């Protein structure tokens, strides 16, 4: 029997004040260059600076925030209520 799978995606957008400031502080505590950090996180330098300035055209994805947390070994406090 052939089946068709259907996926439902629920998008949740939530504000996290001062996350850019926390990202910048964590980066400044790290000894690696911004280029190296961006390479490890898979993020361009331009996008990284937009995150730090909290000047994004669209919301950052949770995946990007989790990559940053992993690379910098920090918890940025991004939690969503289930």
pLDDT tens digit sequence for 58-76:
999 999 999 999 999 999 9
pLDDT above 70 for 82: no
Using only C-alpha atoms, what is the Rg of the chain?
16
Which residues have C-beta within 8 Å of that of residue 75, sequence separation ≥ 6? 69
Rounded alpha-carbon distances, angstroms, from residue 28 to 20, 32, 51, 57, 67:
12, 9, 14, 24, 17
End-to-end C-alpha distance for the chain, whole angstroms: 35
pTM score, whole prediction: 0.84
What are the structural domains, with CATH classification, of the chain?
19-72 (1.10.260.40)
């Amino acid at each position: 029997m052939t089946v068709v799978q259907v996926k439902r995606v629920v998008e949740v957008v939530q504000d996290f004040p001062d996350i850019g400031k926390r990202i910048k502080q964590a980066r400044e505590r790290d000894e690696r260059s911004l280029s190296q950090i961006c390479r490890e996180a898979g993020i361009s330098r331009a996008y990284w600076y937009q995150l730090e300035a909290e000047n994004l055209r669209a919301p950052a994805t949770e995946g990007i925030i989790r990559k940053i947390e992993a690379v910098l070994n920090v918890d940025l406090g991004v939690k969503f209520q289930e």
